[in-house]
Amino acid sequence: MLVHQAYRYELDPTASQRVLLAKHAGTARFAFNWGLALCKERLEHQESVPHGAELHRLWNIFKRGNAPWWVEVSKCSPQESLRDLDRAFGNFWRGRATDKFRGRILSASISREADRWYVSLTVERERPDPVPVAGPVVGVDLGLSSFAVLSDGTVLESPKALDRSLRRLQRVSKAHSRKQRGSHNRRKSAMRLARLHRRIRNQRQDFLHQATTALAKTKSVIVVEDLNVRGMVRNRHLARHISDAGWSEFRRMLAYKTEWYGSHLVVAPRFFASSKTCSACGAVKDELDLSERAYRCAECGMVLDRDLNAARNLAHLVAGSSPDTLNACGGRVRPDVA
């Protein structure tokens, strides 16, 4: 099958190359902000927004009298930046991202994180059609005390990258805010803060990649909840913990990895009562307080961990279904698996 796949490599530039990379990044940022200001001005005057080619023509006129340093960088740097701006406006109007690989390179982007430089390549390549995974159906209930509980009883513990580094992050941030603006010490503290943010993000990404790859390679069907993460982070008491968990990124990774490895991802209906439903008899409670960590069924007497009960209900949604006809459109949940 033909797929678009991204590769990201860390660069090891020399001191002079670092200067050139910084100049190109600064030029791209300047051109993007210049183009964005121009487009906003056109919108304020109810005029049409210039497209990518027009933006580049106007930039060529502007740079000769206002950006004498443009001769020090490649013309591709502002050109690609303005193309990104044109693409961003297009998404906005639509309501809206040795042989190491083989394929046709579609784009290459250079980025900097703290003191490190990276190149990201988007490649169009052929992947072999996956062999269907012969593993079991598994329901995945996401949480905060542990990252997820699976219907087979497995518990995925979250690294809680931000939470574990929060005190250090607060200390470094406070020290940075006290440095004099424009000073050498402030630049050093900014780099130290950026490195810490990068470390936290890498810890979270590493865990999510390992968890999603293991699930996609070993489970035939993975059933997850359709969580309203955007709405949930409005709760100021839980926002930081939810963002630290990375639920949205977890589901995004599962979506493409299940296609790669031959498994299936099923998303339960948004209002499916996985927590309030008894996974043994199907009885549904009217209310279930968040403080109740064990599910106690008044009908059959079952007592089970709340998260495990929810995960089993998710698995029951598709248990016994053919992988080619899987759906999660709701309906009465009945326990077809043990």
Report domain extents, the chain: 2-96+98-126, 137-156+201-325
Please identify every residue annotated as catalytic.
Answer: 141, 225, 307
Distance CA 101, CA 299 (A): 57
Helices (H), the chain: 15-44, 52-66, 76-93, 161-177, 184-218, 229-232, 239-245, 247-261, 306-316
pLDDT digits (tens, 9 = 90+) for 173-222: 999 999 999 899 999 999 999 999 999 999 999 999 999 999 999 999 99
β-pairing, 116-126 vs 148-150, is unpaired
pLDDT digits (tens, 9 = 90+) for 275-301: 889 988 888 888 888 778 888 988 888
Q: How far is CA 224 from CA 25, 123, 314, 321, in A?
A: 39, 29, 7, 16
Per-residue pLDDT at 105 = 78
Angle between helices 184-218 and 247-261 (to 10 degrees): 40
Please name the amino acid found at residue 275: S
Reference 297, options 284, 315, 307; nearest CA is 284
Distance CA 32, CA 51 (A): 13
Determine contact, residues 11/61, Cβ cutoff 8 Å: no
DSSP three-state, residue 147: coil
Distance CA 296, CA 303 (A): 5
pLDDT digits (tens, 9 = 90+) for 287-338: 888 778 888 988 888 899 989 999 999 999 886 443 343 444 433 333 334 3
